[in-house]
Amino acid sequence: MTLPPNPFDLTGRVAIVTGANTGIGQGIAVALAQAGADIVAVGRSAMDDTAAQIAPTGRRCHAIRADLSTIAPVAGIIEEARDTFGRLDILVNNAGIIRRGDSVDFTEADWDAVIDTNLKSLFFLSQAAGRHMIAEGNGKIINIASLLSFQGGIRIPSYTASKSGVAGLTRLLACEWAGKGVNVNAIAPGYFVTNNTTALREDPGRSAEILGRIPAGRWGEPSDIGGAATFLASRASDYVHGTVLTVDGGWLAR
């Protein structure tokens, strides 16, 4: 008996993952490779560890050093990905930064740095990839949102604004591109072990407060995000458009 094709299989697909050098981006890149995709790993620092984790899958990993604090690298990232692998099927907009400070003291520099990286570059990279995907009639774009796409948080005004914007842009692009064969969705991670949460995890009081709110009783690990990313990158999600999928250990359910 011939088995039906696996709808989660990404064999032959090419995925760009930004911020793939560490944390959630690295976890997503490895998961997509395990599902069969070749990876274009984009980040500000070396991607050696990511490439080493992808190597056992037998998939290819091409690293691009780029700083997405401006949109200057955007066109080159798309062009290099296509020149290297001959196609582009998946874009994961994961690169992001955070700045902490009381709103009454928050600086314009910290505001602009976060908005430029987390929102502006995300949009223009989606635009550049979207032009190619629309011409091909298919593609998957996955934006990394946040619990702060739904909640206010404290002492992170520009981060909350940027991640609320990511959720909005995800819905807008889905409305424009769903009929053109391009799926645009987002993942909203909860509290994960990443560089962005180091300060929280090293604060015993704040860490205890956070863990007490998470039904799963632990911080998320980058590997916990891989299944959601594989789903949204695969044929299994072909009729999913404009959703923001939370992967938060139950945080929003409480």
Could you give the CA distance from residue 147 to residue 136 in angstroms, rounded to a whole number?
33
Does residue 62 contact residue 86 with C-beta atoms inside 8 Å?
Answer: no
Find residue 40's DSSP bridge partners: 16, 62
Please report where in the chains the tokens 């298919």 appear, as a residue. Answer: 138
- Whether 191 is a known active-site residue: answer no
Catalytic residue among 159, 192, 219, 231: 159
Could you give the CA distance from residue 134 to residue 247 in angstroms, rounded to a whole number?
28
Q: What is the 3-state secondary structure (H, E, C) of 201-237?
A: HCCHHHHHHHHHHCCCCCCECHHHHHHHHHHHHCHHH
Among all residues, which ones are annotated catalytic? 159
